[in-house]
Structure 1
Amino acid sequence: MRPVSESSVSEGRTKPPKPFTEATLLAAMEHASRYVEDKDLKAALDDDESHSGGIGTPATRADVIEKLVHAGYMERKGKQLHSTEAGRTLVDVVSPRLRDVSLTADMERSLGDVEHGGAHADAVYEEFRGYARAIPADAAANVKAERVGQSGGKTESYGRCPRCGGNVVKRGKTWTCSTNRNEKQADGTWKRTDGCGYRIFPTIAGKTLTDAQVRKVLGGQAVLVKGFTSKSGKKFDARLVADKERGVAFDFGK
């Protein structure tokens, strides 16, 4: 090991990125793939054979900016574009997935699959519909979480809904998709009026699930749970996996 004969520390200051102008923001929208690391998703965004490439089209990009300004989410300061407080709040409450340009890339790839016969149009439509339906529900859940957090409580997401892509939250003792809305009927029963309907009941085959187990299941893991009780009264162990139709399902694979 060589001895260090001399060292020095220099003080510097990092500079924040320059604010967008309309020209640089339009360029960033057109070349959005520079913000994506995955090679396949980059290619899907850059593909200008099936679409114009990037986010939006040459005919719609400028209009998107105008709509953001008109809605109060962005403002002009000279030639520069700046987010407003309302715009920054919107960014804070929407799903991180929606803020990620890779979502657009993923959607473009799905559309390309439909065009080339690799996916069914109805399935892709339902996938996109699930994304759209989750947007206001996720935002509302995040706003509620912020308000509850300020009062000392908390509302958190346990993972993504395997049915529609929304957040799964806990209401009472049940884990349910944040898109679900229920109304009390005249006979005292509750009826779902909106949402995808996905939920995980707290007790499966006599075994009460924990938050940690549900979080792992929704994260894509097969979680070993011991002590289930069969209908005949026998104890058994099994792995639980997420199931978009039943909430969770047993996996007896080795």
Structure 2
Amino acid sequence: MSDDGTNDATHVAPGSGSGRRTAATPVLILDQPFDRGSLYALRETLEAHAVHAGLPHGRAVDLVLTVHELATNAIFHGSGTGQARIWQFDGVLRCEVADPGSSRHDAAGWPVRHGHGLWLARYLSDRFTIDSGPDGTVATAHFTLPGPASRRSATPRLRRLESHTVLELDGALDEQAAPQIIATVGELVSGTPAPGLVIDLSAVTHWDSTGITALITAQQRVSETPAGMLVLTGLAAEFAERLDALSPVPFTIRETPDKAVHLFPPP
């Protein structure tokens, strides 16, 4: 994770959607000015348009949070006003937050702070860029629209082995799956003095920040036991990077459940 205030880099982090894309003409579905007094109205409008365009509710909340933080930067570190636009094209929602001030309101004035603004935009969106020019600064965050077949929320399935338990997730790691994951891990922890757990994410189709929070909670619950261990498997490299950036606790990661077996003591 970079937190050095360098804002002109492009961050690309696949993981919340997949599939081959074809060229398409962008369609403008939202074009709304904002200032300090209209942020609430902007949030409401963003969520309505994102959900209507097909973004699952949990990811729509991520989009609202991202655009709100970018708009706040434009207000407090830029000209004080801005323009929010959403373009839909080729299975993607492209959110643009423009600070139309003079060239002195450039990207260097938008600070990178852990948990806020540009930092959140980089790790919650699927692609993030920020550019400045004579007409001001434009920050752009992309959110992939998952296909209908990939929107089913994951249902945790337990596979108990001699030395540990494997929790398999097949579907969306989202706000509906999150409570089930937390409850399943809670039952395992409460019934086992030294729980060994592998969460296999290889069949996860997309995610939202609530799903990531469920993984963080699971790690914390297992870590609270005297000799418990949790291992995540099946993560794409980009998702592992994003999870590392968003999580306050470190994860142990292996490629497959079979490659995690040796981490657990024999029964």
Q: TM bucket by the smaller chain?
A: under 0.3
| Bigger relative CO (Cα 8 Å, ≥ 6 apart) | 2
Q: TM-score scaled to structure 2, two decimals?
A: 0.27
Q: TM-score scaled to structure 1, two decimals?
A: 0.28
Name whichever structure is richer in strand by fraction. Answer: 2
- Whichever of the two has the greater Rg, that structure is 1
